[in-house]
Amino acid sequence: MNFIRKELKEFKESNGLLIDVRSPEEYYKGHMPNSINIPLFNNEERVIVGKTYNLNGKEKAVTKGLEIVESKLEQLISEFVDVEKLYFDNKNNKFKIYCARGGMRSKSIFWLLSKLNYSVFLLSGGYKNYRRSVLSKFTKNIKIIIIGGKTGSGKTRILNILRNNNYQIIDLEFLANHRGSAFGGLGMNKQPSNEQFENLIAEELYTFDNNKDVFIEAESSNIGKCRIPYELFKQMKISPRIEVIRSERDRIDELISTYSVFSKNQLIDSVLKITKRLGPQRTNKAIESIKNEDWENVCKAVLEYYDKCYEHELRSRNNVKTLDLREVKEKEILSMIIKSSSKK
């Protein structure tokens, strides 16, 4: 059988439903964004085939794999038929298949779908090829502009204003499902694996014009459990930075709007995570204020700590321009950010 393979660029740009046929465990660790997982082998079956290969060689492993697939052929066919019913349309009427290296698993699915008269093609080199491309993305020069500012300065809101006006932005906190502080996981979905976080960032970069600026919020190297790719973070540290200045009143209002919706227990748990850094006095003050729903004093207790940390970090940065947004209306923010960024 002649297998239809495509190199990564053509594979990504071709219409079709993207299907990852690796095991659920492999898929969770990292996958091509927007792919659907229809595993040829589940986690346990993959281990069995792997052990057979190590103990008895490739031929025996292939035989074992065929036995497993034969026993659940109806289930596999049913899964693809269900996906077709849910997602096929005039644009997505083909299956784009990948496995780990473009080997036996994707070939097996290609054979099965071809017998069912589906149009299907494979990714040459599989997910491993995709990952090489992801990691190489971060080594290329990116025209980054950092949006900095103390906690509560509305940096994410600024990114959204830029995005809504067709400027290129990467919202790292959105991709990481975390706002980057001890309170950052509240109300967020489970964080992706670190590998998947890298994949999500790279997918953003794939869509960008390399000659245009990319706005990114200032972050530490870790956002919750997700670590910013080293090569990208290295570029972020030396990129031009717009330091947003907001009044304490505006910052407190921003934080109250974001966090007062969560339960007292959730907020207290978040404060307790940074007890050592806050110290007993500020910790007790914050917890007591949470219990009394005195949100302003909660913010003041926590901001005192975060501001000191931020000021210390900012001293090590060069190429910083301040942008005073106190008393500035939201409709004026875009033009001020763009004007400031053009002076780099």
Q: Which residues are part of the catalytic machinery?
A: 99
Contacts of 331-339 with CB under 8 Å at 24 or more apart are: 333/158, 333/161, 334/161, 334/162, 334/165, 337/147, 337/158, 337/161, 337/162, 337/215, 337/242, 338/167
Comparing CA positions, the residue from 244, 229, 231, 226 lying closest to residue 147 is: 244
Strands 320-324 and 241-245: parallel
- CA atoms in the 13 A half-sphere facing the CB of 282: 17
Strands 226-227 and 222-223: antiparallel
